[in-house]
Amino acid sequence: MLIHPIDFRYGTQEMKAVWCEENRFRCIISAETALVSALASCGLISQADADMVAENAPRASLARAKEIEAEIGHDLMGMVKALSEVSGEAGRFVHFGATSSDILDTATGLQLKEAFSVLEAKLQAFLAVLLERAEETADLLCMARTHGQHALPMTYGLRFAVWAEEVSRHLVRLSEIRPRVLVGKLTGAVGTLAAFGKDGMAVQSAMMQKLGLSDAGLTTQVISRDRYAEYIFLLANIATTLEKIAVEIRSLQRTEIGEVSEPFGKNQVGSSTMPHKRNPVKCEQVCGLARIVRSMVEPALLNNTLWDERDLTNSASERITFPEASVLTDHCIHIMTGVLRGLVIHEDAVACNLQYLQGVNLAESVMIEMTKRGMPRQDAHEIIRQASLNALALRRPLAEVLADIPAVTAVLSAEELRSLLNAEYYTGLAAEQTKSLIEKLR
């Protein structure tokens, strides 16, 4: 019986495969096998025994481990016994000198290593789509909004470029936290490596080298959870960027604005009762799931506040936070990549909205020019402010209202006013900034 929507509704196969029960089991077996190999490389057991465990490890099964767990009530020991059973005489060295967290935390490091690869590839693909859309619309003038109100002209290219640069920072963050998160440990029950004596550091180093992980340095019985909190926070940060983009698309798709539309399938149904509906459901889904990902941050932080050298309060929480935050963030990246790739831009509506205020949205350009020509900036601001309010109240073009103000016509001709109130005149370096970023990130 399926209960969690991740099982049947959300998530890509790539990320689900990382956190599935079978892969968790295989990562644990890999950690145990690497431990035995490290013991051999340090001369503590024979190479023949290490080879025996490695050769038989694929025969260890999750099903058998669960049978043993049902008898003894310990999940990790169930897996240890399942591996020992298939390893013959060499099975006596399985889990030698290790505590459960040595293996479990190291297995988590292996899973996170896989998750990082999936996330990096997905973010790179999403970034590529944003850069494509930025290049395509680098010169497409549109209305910018602040506080939900018309502000100044900008370009769609700049809007996409701002998002692209934000995503590029997440890729940098992913790279930066990699060495802090992709770690394992073999420090024993309280972090002293007592079981291996003087060989402890060498055995740990050999084990991690075989697994492609760094050692976690000083630990208690567990790896300090500040590392994992950093990972969960990165996922929350990425999910929030995706929500930010989704919120903007939802706003721009409002009927009254109508500048963009989510891709909509030929046979897609928007409403069970209103046949005309074309709702931004994908963006809405991302906004909803981002809330769940962000909710994982507090548990991740609290997982670091364990009693003494450890307690078990982190364990149940992490069984949920790691897979859910990873799968849902990856899912949101996948969804938004498709939305941005297929996003429809209605250029007629874009142009209509740009002209909607009949020049009032370009009032700043007139104020700046009047100041350049000698009028005090505050005086120019007040004149243009009152003129803009009159234009809005009377529903008249701002140019006509300004033409009736002697203080304005004394420094600006009618032709100059028309030029200043042309959106193409006042987009600054929007296109240049966009093209520069595209070149930089490609």
Of the candidates 104, 319, 299, the one whose C-alpha atom is nearest the C-alpha of residue 216 is 104
* Alpha-carbon torsion, ordered 187, 192, 198, 200, to 10 deg: 0
**Sign (positive or negative) of CA dihedral 234, 20, 281, 128:** positive
**Sign (positive or negative) of CA dihedral 428, 433, 436, 442:** negative
CA dist 124 and 404 (Å) reads 55
CA dist 368 and 365 (Å) reads 5
Domains by residue range for the chain, with CATH = 8-45+96-262+277-351 (1.20.200.10), 356-441 (1.10.40.30)
Q: Which residues of 294-431 form beta strands (DSSP E)?
A: 344-345
Note the Cα 387 to chain centre separation in Å. Answer: 45
Which residues are catalytic, by number?
A: 147, 271
From first to last of its 442 residues, the chain has per-residue pLDDT tens of 889 999 999 999 999 999 999 999 999 999 999 999 999 999 999 999 999 999 999 999 999 999 999 999 999 999 999 999 999 999 999 999 999 999 999 999 999 999 999 999 999 999 999 999 999 999 999 999 999 999 999 999 999 999 999 999 999 999 999 999 999 999 999 999 999 999 999 999 999 999 999 999 999 999 999 999 999 999 999 999 999 999 999 999 999 999 999 998 888 888 788 888 899 999 999 999 999 999 999 999 999 999 999 999 999 999 999 999 999 999 999 999 999 999 999 999 999 999 999 999 999 999 999 999 999 999 999 999 999 999 999 999 999 999 999 999 999 999 999 999 999 999 999 999 999 999 999 8
Note the Cα 385 to chain centre separation in Å. Answer: 42
Q: Which two tokens stand for residue 275?
A: 């046949």
CA dist 363 and 367 (Å) reads 6
